[in-house]
Chains A and B, each alone.
Chain A
Amino acid sequence: MYDKYPKGQNRSRHWKHLKQILQAENYQNYPPDEPNYVNIGSPPSMHPCKRICDITGFEAPYFDPRTNLRYANADVFKLIRSLPNEYVQRYLALRNAAVVLK
């Protein structure tokens, strides 16, 4: 393996992640109408957000303020209130709405 790292490093080098690569590209130096990796990304959606129940997948007009989960009817609500916190966070993480402590 040593011939792969001739400069004396004995562990694999750290490769730049996509975010770092994009930052190093300096796309702002180039004309903005030229397509590059960043400006072909999609914009946020114009349509209203579809609200479905986090647990069953049916349409969910209701929202539980304590756990921040959406639910479809009273039975689901009973279930939500009896879920341990771990499951609540996992359901929220599906929607990218979980609380992340940094």
Chain B
Amino acid sequence: MPFITQTQRQSDYNLFPSTTPIVIDNGASYFRIGWAGENDPRLIFRNIVQRPRHKATGETVTIVGDHDPALLKYFDCTRSGPRSAFDSNVVYQFEIMEYILDFGFDRMGADGSQVDHPVLITECVCNPVQSRSKMAELLFETYGVPSVAFGVDAAFSYKYNQQLGVCDKDGLAICPGFSTTHVIPFVDGEPVYQGCCRTSVGGYHVTDYLKQLLSLKYPHHMTRMTWEKVEDLKMEHCYIAPDYASEARLFQKGTKEAEDKTRCWQLPWIPQPVEEPPSEDEIARKAAIKEKQGQRLREMAEAKRSSRINELENELHGLEFLLQQLENVEQNDIPSFLSKTGYVSKQEIESAHVKVTQSLRKAKGEPKAEQVDIEEKMDASTTEKYPLINIPDNMLSPEQLKEKKRQLFLKTTSEGRQRAKQKRFEEELERERQNQQDEEKRLENPELYLEQLRARHRELSEKVEQRKRLKTNGGNTNGNNNFSGGVGRGERLNAAQKERMRLLTTAAFDRGKGEDTFGARDEDWQLYKLMSKDNDDDDEGPDMDEAELARISSRLQDIDPTFVSRPEVGPFQPVVEIPKFRRLTQEDYQVVFGVERFRCPEILFHPNLVGIDQVGLDEMAGVSMKRLPSKGQDVEERLTSSILITGGSSLFPGMSERLEAGIRMIRPCGTPIRVVRASDPVLDAWHGAAAYAAALRFPEQTFSKMDYYEKGEDWLRRYQLRYTL
């Protein structure tokens, strides 16, 4: 159904005499209004109202019916969703009804303050008196309508088709509507409401089901699936399978037929510009630039190194000169001579000299072996460096004790450093050896090696994932139980959780002294530190596993051309994750639905699928016939031989066949069953009502304002239309 509905203002309102009734089909989905006796309603629009605020002026505007999305950008729609006057096929919000009627009458051309025409309006079956009386009040008081009549839309549709010859005088009207489904038997042309049956499933529930299913299957496209769009999809693609189980089996097997029946919705998608692999010139040019940059850097490093070497050599010369001078100077003059230069003693000068020679050697890049020699020489002299260590404590003075402590500390740290270096060296050797072994294995039997590696990778990734899942799920219970993080029955706690529970219960334990003194002392709050989840010790296992997993993945990536480092999606695509590590392709923007096509309308026949505990369409016919007060074999036969399907949700392909098969199952063998669809399931209710209102004897069926006030509510309750005039 197109959403751009006809809502131009009609200009011929004044041409109609005031006896011509206005016919309104007040449905939960669409509102249709027009003149009696015409072929089509003048106006059709969705029966919803929106009240957004204008962004600039701040005033609230009322929009009736479906809107043009382009206009709505001037309004702030966050707090105004579409609102309907209906609560499951009964009107309860008369303020909204007033807006809608305002709009309807206005577009019909009414300009005066009163609508001077009798009005025929549709309602649901057995409408509660309150709703009916409020509607009458609204029409009489606010609009000044002279007389009003209420009728059932399905009945009008049946009568209209009876006039057309589609169905007989006795029959069954099955009307799947927007929010409910009705089955009404007709005997002698009049509906028998005692036999009527109503289930609370309708087109709205089918659309909602489809929307939920698609959003769950494609969560990242959820914003594109608005209710209107899904309704469009439903109307275009959904169908009713003649037998649900066998259709489902077709799809489960993945046969060619199932492939044909699967539809795919392509969302708009802009492919990312593909970077062409750079041509040869590009590569050469880039390589040359890199070369040049490298060269420049190397030159700079060279220059720095040579300047540093020069500096150091100068320093070295200076120090040597100083040493020579020192030897020439006499013993007494040493302190004064030394103070001029800034060094305190000869040893300092010597140590400075040694350091500078070392740095020079390093700068010149001589092999490390000499370094090691020097270090070893240093080690050999540790005992001389730390002379105080071996002397027992009681022979030393306090100052010397302090000195000894310091030397001990230095010695242990340097020994520790050496040990660490040794370990690293050994590990390196070990890794080298393992790599060599791996290489040998690979070279001798590449296939087997690859297989082993892949299997190991799979194992490890599963283990790691499972552990990760346990951590996040086991900590906050997976399952239907409390959301507050409690633990349900049958959940086993791991050690950390057990500890936490224990701490909590001991803290909360009421020792019977009356007052709870937790928190009075500061130490109590240490409890929370103990309980903190951050302090959980991770077991060593996962880290090792993860490290090995990473190593194996990198190996596989190097040698296996078909390796993809992520688990693959199953064949039936239950939940599609957006792969973040590879480029988005066209397939990611497609919404595929196959099973949903016939799964969603199935709820009309099996409301149990959505948790509504009522009978479906085929059984409803049986229930309705059972409820009929006047029993007799012929009546039932006559009813089943003229079954009319009307209403907006009856447009699914395959409904008639399915209904026929279903009713055949519950009727005795051989009864004549004929199922026909109304000539125009959507608009027939209005057509029937218009034809009815144009009849000569229509004014007898209406009631006026006087009647309404004099006769009271009880009379209104018993008011029913007679459909054969």
Contact = CB atoms under 8 A, between A and B. Distances in A.
A25 B129 contact: yes
A22 B216 contact: no
The size class of the interface chain A forms with chain B is: 35 or more
Interface residues of B, number: 63
B248 A91 contact: no
B433 to A, nearest CB: 39
A42 B480 CA distance: 31
Contacts of B629: 33
Interface stretch (B84-92, B167-175, B374-382, B447-455): B84-92
A8 interface: no
Interface string B593-619: 001100100000011111111111001
Contacts of A83: 575
B251 A25 contact: no
Contact of A15 (B95, B125, B473, B607): B95
B101 interface: no
Given A18-B88, A97-B611, A45 B619 contact: yes
B326 to A, nearest CB: 80
Contacts of A75: 570-572
Nearest to A49: B608
B620 interface: yes
**Of residues A15, A16, A95, which shows the largest number of chain B Cβ atoms within 10 Å of its Cβ?**
A15
Contacts of B87: 17-18
Contact of B469 (A42, A43, A67, A82): A82
B92 A94 contact: no
A92 B197 contact: no
**Of residues A43, A82, A88, A95, which shows the largest number of chain B Cβ atoms within 10 Å of its Cβ?**
A43
Nearest to B480: A99
B310 interface: no
Contact of B606 (A50, A68, A79, A93): A50
A7 interface: no
B130 A59 contact: no
Contact of B128 (A21, A47, A87): A21
A6 interface: no
B194 A35 contact: yes
Contact of B615 (A21, A44, A67): A44
Contacts of A56: 252, 572, 574, 595
A57 B629 CA distance: 40
B92 A16 contact: yes
B93 A15 contact: yes
B251 A58 contact: yes
B615 A94 contact: no
A29 to B, nearest CB: 11
23 contacts: A15-B94, A16-B92, A17-B92, A18-B87, A18-B92, A36-B126, A40-B197, A43-B614, A44-B614, A45-B614, A45-B616, A52-B248, A56-B572, A56-B574, A57-B599, A58-B249, A59-B245, A68-B480, A79-B575, A82-B469, A85-B476, A99-B481, A101-B482
Given A16-B130, A59-B249, A95-B610, 16 more contacts: A18-B88, A36-B126, A36-B128, A37-B90, A37-B127, A41-B197, A45-B607, A45-B608, A52-B244, A52-B248, A59-B252, A66-B478, A67-B478, A67-B480, A82-B469, A87-B216
